[in-house]
């Protein structure tokens, strides 16, 4: 199928930039991201529909010819949103469990965002400006869900090739073909693909450069959108949150949870007021108990570990907990180091992280329960590529997430640390 413009038949190579220009005129907030990388038509047959590696985009010629302009605009939006949210890099760990399911989960979440923001747009003649192509992943059930939540909702292990049990010590299996399981039989397959492997092959410097380029594009797009009153700001709002100083957040959390500076607990009343039948918090705990520091053993974390531990040690010099329990973990707690108050100066010198398999944080909460460890708080240092959810905690937890802005824990408080900020 070909489409006409001013009496001429347009090729896929002509229709694709025409769609991008149409988006530029209406969605100023994503204009900058839209201009990142190359956008090209594939005529080799290797790209059946559309694909992105987080920087460049490819569109199958026959596929472009088979859909109308409104549908093509939706597909371009779709690929740009994958880029804007850094999906190929952020969710690479899910693709190692099951590539297809990871792709589908991301499609569900991004398609809802696109439709909510631009689905009601009309052309001058009243026809829809956007249309969803056939086979699209769209389900109201997943409104407000994060991609990881959707993944575990639709993932179905096949012949035991899914993640291994956290207790077996083997870590999640990662088949070379990236299949590892399958989506539920009635789940749509989507119309595009994410080149997770291509994104993973980018060098650390290329990833950092791309991160900065996307950040700057989002800021510029938001500025233009704000001046013109155009749409698209709701989906990128979370990406525009001001950067916080992770050191300040770490210090504030530790002091609040370990010393009671936030007056959030009434566990220890101030004795001065009891005689007047007034129950008031003491403000500062009579003793600062145990602090748990849980560090995952992924490669990126190992590189930044010494600086992070040094910062924690400096905070402990002020707070003076009775002890700090340092746990290294992947799918199980691989190593435990205990530092009593008089030994805290050795914390930053810990250089023996063990493990390196998958990343299942439930092993930490299970360990604390099984060992009857009565800690006041836990600080988790991780890259945020968590298998199977963020677990259940019965103590305050701060997630210090390194190099993964897209990670969003559903429990506790999170602070993100950019690569290079340590």
- Closest by CA to 404, choosing from 389, 388, 387, 417, is 417
In the structure encoding, which two tokens stand for residue 337, read together?
A: 């180091």
| Structure confidence at residue 187 (pLDDT) | 42
Tokens of 187: 């789940």
Q: What is the pLDDT of residue 167?
A: 34
Give the residue from 178, 212, 240 where a domain finishes.
240
Return the SS3 of 274. helix
DSSP class of residue 289 equals -
How many domains is the chain built from? Answer: 2
Q: How many helices (H) and strands (E) does the chain have?
A: 15, 14
Other Cβ atoms less than 10 A from the Cβ of 96: the count is 23
**What's the confidence (pLDDT) of residue 182?**
42
What distances in angstroms separate CA 280 from CA 55, 271, 288, one per listed residue? 56, 8, 19
pLDDT along the chain (422 residues), means of 10: 58 94 87 91 94 95 95 95 90 86 94 91 93 92 86 73 36 35 43 87 86 85 62 54 76 79 38 41 55 86 82 84 92 91 83 70 95 94 86 93 84 84 68
- Cα–chain center distance at 72: 27
- Indicate whether 333 and 216 sit together in one domain: no
> Does residue 360 sit within a domain?
yes
407: left (phi over 0), alpha (psi -120 to 50) or beta: beta
Q: 422 in a domain, yes or no?
A: no
Q: Are residues 121 and 206 in the same domain?
A: yes
CA distance 326 to 292: 6
pLDDT for res 342: 86
Same domain, 207 and 257: no
The CATH number linked to 372 is: 3.40.50
Q: Do residues 10 and 61 make contact, with C-beta atoms less than 8 angstroms apart? A: no
CB atoms within 10 A of CB 126: 6
Cα–Cα distance for residue pair 187/271, rounded to 1 Å: 61
Residue 290 inside a domain? The answer is: yes
Residue 91 lies in a domain: yes
Claim to verify: residue 158 and residue 261 sit in the same structural domain: no
N residues, the chain: 422
Q: What's the rounded Cα separation, in Å, for the pair 16 and 321? A: 60
Residue 221's CB: how many other CB atoms inside 10 A?
25
pLDDT at 365: 96
Please tell me the predicted confidence (pLDDT) of residue 241.
56
pLDDT of residue 381: 94
Q: Is the CB of residue 263 less than 8 Å from the CB of residue 285? A: no
Identify the domain containing residue 78 by its residue range.
Answer: 3-240
Nearest-angstrom CA–CA distance, 276 and 39 = 73
Please indicate, yes or no, whether residues 231 and 335 belong to a single structural domain of this protein: no
Is the domain of 200 the same as that of 269? no
Domain-located, residue 207: yes
DSSP annotation of 14 reads H
Residue 369: the pLDDT is 95
Does 361 reside within a domain? yes
Same domain as 228, residue 81: yes
324 and 198 fall within a common domain: no
Contact 94, 181 (CB under 8 A): no
320 in the same domain as 235:
no
Helical residues (DSSP H) of 244-396, grouped into ranges: 246-259, 271-274, 299-319, 362-370
Among 208, 240, 272, residue at a domain's last position: 240
């Amino acid at each position: 199928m070909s489409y006409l413009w001013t009496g001429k038949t347009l090729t896929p190579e002509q229709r694709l930039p025409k769609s991008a220009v149409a988006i530029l005129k209406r969605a100023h907030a994503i204009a900058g991201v839209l201009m990142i990388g190359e956008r090209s038509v594939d005529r080799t047959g290797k790209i059946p529909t559309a694909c992105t590696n987080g920087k460049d985009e490819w569109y199958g010629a026959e596929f472009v010819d088979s859909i109308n302009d409104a549908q093509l605009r939706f597909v371009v939006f779709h690929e740009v949103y994958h880029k804007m949210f850094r999906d190929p890099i952020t969710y690479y760990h899910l693709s190692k469990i099951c590539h297809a399911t990871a792709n589908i989960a991301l499609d569900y979440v991004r398609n809802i965002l696109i439709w909510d923001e631009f689905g009601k747009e009309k052309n001058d003649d009243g026809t829809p400006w956007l249309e969803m192509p056939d086979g699209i992943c769209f389900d109201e059930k997943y409104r407000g869900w994060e991609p990881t939540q959707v993944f575990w909702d639709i993932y179905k292990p096949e012949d035991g090739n899914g993640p291994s049990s956290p207790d077996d010590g083997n870590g999640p299996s990662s088949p070379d073909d990236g299949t590892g399981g399958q989506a539920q039989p009635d789940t749509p397959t989507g119309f595009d693909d994410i080149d997770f492997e291509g994104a993973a092959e980018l060098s650390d410097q290329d990833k950092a450069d791309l991160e900065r380029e996307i950040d700057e594009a989002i800021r510029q797009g938001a500025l233009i959108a704000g001046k013109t009153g155009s749409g698209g700001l709701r989906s990128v709002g979370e990406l525009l949150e001001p950067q916080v100083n992770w050191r300040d957040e770490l210090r504030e959390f530790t002091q609040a949870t370990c010393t009671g500076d936030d007056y959030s607990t009434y566990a220890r009343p101030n004795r001065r007021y009891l005689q007047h039948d007034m129950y008031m918090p003491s403000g500062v705990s009579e003793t600062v108990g145990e602090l748990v520091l849980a560090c995952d053993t992924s490669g990126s974390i190992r590189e930044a570990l010494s600086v992070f531990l040094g910062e924690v040690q400096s905070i402990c010099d002020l707070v003076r907990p009775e002890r700090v329990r340092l746990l290294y973990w992947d799918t199980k707690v691989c190593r435990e180091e205990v530092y009593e108050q008089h030994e805290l100066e050795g914390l930053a010198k810990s250089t023996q992280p063990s493990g390196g398999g998958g990343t299942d944080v439930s092993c930490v909460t299970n360990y604390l329960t099984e060992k009857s460890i009565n800690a006041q708080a836990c600080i988790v240092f991780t890259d945020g590529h968590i298998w199977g959810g963020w677990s259940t905690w019965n103590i305050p937890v701060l997630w210090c997430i390194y190099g993964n802005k897209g990670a969003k824990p559903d429990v506790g408080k999170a602070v993100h640390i950019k690569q290079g900020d340590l």
